[in-house]
Amino acid sequence: MTTKIKSISIAGIRGIKDSISLPLNEKSVLLYGDNGTGKSSISDAIEWFYTDKVSHLSGSEIDLKDALRNSYQKDTDAASIAISYKRNAIDATKNLFKKRGKLTYEISNSSDDFQKYYSASQNENLLLRYQFLISWELMVERLNSDLANTLGNLVNRTVSMTNKYFGGTVEDKGVVEDVDAELKAVVENASKAVDAKMADLRVADAITEIFNLFKRCNKYIDETTPWVLGKDESKKDRLSTVLWNLIQSISEGARLLESFMPSTSKKILEQLGNGHVTEKPEILFQRMDLEEVMKKVEELHPKVEEKKEEEAVIDIEPKDEITFEQFGAMQFQVGEIIACEAVKKSKKLLCSQVKVGSQVKQIVSGIKAHYTPEEMVGKKVMVLVNLKPAKLAGVLSEGMLLCAEDAEGNLALMTPEKEMPAGAEIC
């Protein structure tokens, strides 16, 4: 049995500047995003949801200093994580909130059934990497942006410029500028950063570190402007050094990429050599046209109208017919529960104060296994108001709350479909 999460909302937690709300629609999803955007907060939220703790923080009650670091919330604002989920008749939300210097939590449905369900559902696996739900449109966008442009175009430009200006072979002439040291620092740090991410099994973050290196190489091209250097014969040694730095940096990124994209890594290294590039660059990733992709998707996965499962029904033993006059003798009205408490020494009964028009009636109901007193308060319910008063467990009851019961004995209060005032007649 697994928990299917419907949505996640996060505010005031590590790195979250603005509140985030993600509609997951009960599906396992892939989420993605750049470093520093708060994606670890979502991972923390999922881990906390299943285990009541975050492994790299402290204990079952998360320490505020760690959990709220980089938070833009004021000290007086409440931090929150709300995760809603549903299975069959259970629809609940687990909320994280700030209280007396610590982050604690509450579960809105604390019935025995829910607790058993929650305990049995801690093996749901979600693959996370930040903010947007994966889609064909998004895949095309990311392929064109990250693979075709950031990586593929980078290799293509480097090979082409090396052939154009030096006949395919460059070497380090030692003509350096400050920007070279900045690029080399990124290259040297990339391997350490990837190792650190993989040590924690954060595969997506490790790949992000590699692509950060490729992005820095693209920036290096913009900073050094090889096409300008190529026009000045006195800058030829500087141009050779720039292209050498690019080839070495991209090659290091390709070696780091081998564990994740082995064939792509091999192609890049074969094209770049060690300063002697291929005559013609090979296109690593063709840009994709979204319309063409969606046509193929429709061919491969034609839309099939989902058949709605026939809702289960219950047949009960019919009672004797009554006349319209007999029915008219019963008075049904909308009531609002303004207070509720458990009946002492009873395992089944709740005692509710129900506002019906200008009157308040005390009604005892056998629904303690299905609702807590706190859940009852504020509900609009359907009430049989002229039932003869009787004592239940020694407590006077002046009416009856109407409920429905399924085949398993679960009860649900009957409530108005639309907003109705307390006292409205049910007819």
Model pLDDT for residues 21-56, shown as the tens digit of each residue: 666 655 544 444 444 445 555 555 555 555 555 554
Per-residue pLDDT of 80-99, as tens digits, reads 556 565 544 444 455 555 54
Instruction: Please calculate the CA angle 119-30-216 and round it to the nearest 5 degrees.
Output: 135
Token pair for residue 387?
A: 């039932």
Q: pLDDT class for 125, splitting at 50, 70, 90?
A: very low
Q: Residue 210 to residues 89, 251, 407: CA-CA distances in angstroms?
A: 46, 11, 56
Output phi, psi for 366, to 5 deg: -90, 60
Candidates 265, 249, 254, 258; CA nearest to 185 is 249
Res 28: pLDDT: 46
d(CA 36, CA 32): 12
Distance separating alpha carbons of residues 369 and 350, to the nearest angstrom = 9
Q: What is the pLDDT of residue 289?
A: 87
pLDDT for the residue numbered 366? 93
> In the beta sheet, which residues pair with residue 102?
63, 99
> What percentage of the chain carries pLDDT values higher than 70?
67
pLDDT of 261 reads 87
pLDDT of residue 381: 95
Name the pLDDT band for 139 (thresholds 50, 70, 90): confident
What torsion do the CA atoms of 128, 133, 138, 139 make, to the nearest 10 degrees? 50
Q: Is the pLDDT of residue 122 over 50?
A: no
Cβ-based neighbours of 81, under 8 Å, separated by 6 or more: 8, 9, 10, 13, 45, 48, 49, 94, 95, 96
Q: What pLDDT, in 10s, does the model give residues 329-350?
A: 999 999 999 999 999 889 899 9
pTM of the entire structure? 0.46
> What's the half-sphere exposure (Cβ side, CA atoms, 13 Å) at 92?
21
Q: Which residue has the higher pLDDT, 69 or 219?
A: 219
pLDDT higher at 129 or 20: 20
Which pLDDT score is estimated for 427? 86
Which of the pair, 383 or 294, is modelled with greater confidence?
A: 383
Higher-confidence residue of 197 and 85: namely: 197
From 5, 132, 125, 11, select the one nearest 67 (Cα to Cα).
Answer: 11
Q: Helix (H, G, I), strand (E, B), or coil: what is residue 411?
A: strand
Type and span of the H or E element at 404: strand 403-405
